[in-house]
Amino acid sequence: MSNALAAETKPRQHVPLNGVDTPTLFATINAVKAQPELAKFQFRATNHWMTGTHNRTRIETFSGAGSEHRHTGDVQFDADHPAVLVGSDNAPTPVEFLLHAIAACITSGIGNIAAARGVKLTEVESTVEGDIDLRGILGLSDEVRNGYERMRVNFKIKGDAAPEKLREIVEQSKARSAVFDVLTRGTAVEVTADCATA
């Protein structure tokens, strides 16, 4: 969900590389090009509160490419607040999953884009940091925002290409990353609630 292959649609020979089935990937892109409604996806999650700040999300089904799909891998993820914030630390905090999302999105894109460009990767590591001033969410300052003030992602990437070519792959992945787009530009989020006394 994070790659950008536009410039790659009429390229060299496509052979599987980096664990990416490049011929099928390009066949998929061409299918979507011919039938744009296949590009409409809806992702879904359900969450239930357990106790305190501890809650659990299941990510099971999604629609796209004209049909319904069900994930086969891990589907259950907890979140909690740490002890220093009076939680039970059963899992990372919600904001830390934003760090996972951005690293994972750009990394998945790097895998695909490198394969499309015929570059064999040997290592892709990244570290992500997010700075946040909790006076926002604690309601102690109206001048401090609730969310991250800034985030940084640093990649360490090795492959059989010149460093500049590897850097271009990272840049292209960022330029077409779904998560980077949402985190930097924001999106509309509607929140509704059905409430009952019980």
Query: Per CB under 8 A, does 14 bind a copy of itself?
Result: no
State the binding string over 93-112 for a copy of itself (x if CB under 8 A, else -). Answer: xxxxxxxxxxxxxxxxxxxx
> Burial letters for 85-102: b for 16+ Cβ neighbours within 10 Å, e otherwise?
eebeebbbbeeeebbebb
Minimum Å distance from CB 68 to a copy of itself? 10
Distance CA(115)–CA(118), nearest Å, equals 5
Query: What residues form DSSP beta bridges with 79?
Result: 55
Minimum Å distance from CB 171 to a copy of itself? 8
Residue list 128-187, contact with a copy of itself (CB under 8 A): 128-141, 144-164, 166-167, 170, 174, 176-187
Query: Per CB under 8 A, does 33 bind a copy of itself?
Result: yes
- CB 106, CB 2: distance < 8 Å: yes
- CB 137, CB 149: distance < 8 Å: no
Task: Provide φ and ψ at 123, rounded to 5°.
Answer: -160, 135
Residue list 112-131, contact with a copy of itself (CB under 8 A): 112, 121-131
Minimum Å distance from CB 13 to a copy of itself? 17
Minimum Å distance from CB 153 to a copy of itself? 5
Which token pair is 161?
């290409």
Compute the Cα dihedral for 190, 93, 148, 105 and give only its sign: negative
Residue list 44-83, contact with a copy of itself (CB under 8 A): 44-55, 57, 59, 62, 64-65, 69, 71-75, 77-83
Please say which residue, 13 or 164, places its beta carbon nearer to a copy of itself: 164
Please say which residue, 13 or 78, places its beta carbon nearer to a copy of itself: 78
Please identify which residue in the block is written with the tokens 């879904």: 44
Minimum Å distance from CB 56 to a copy of itself? 9
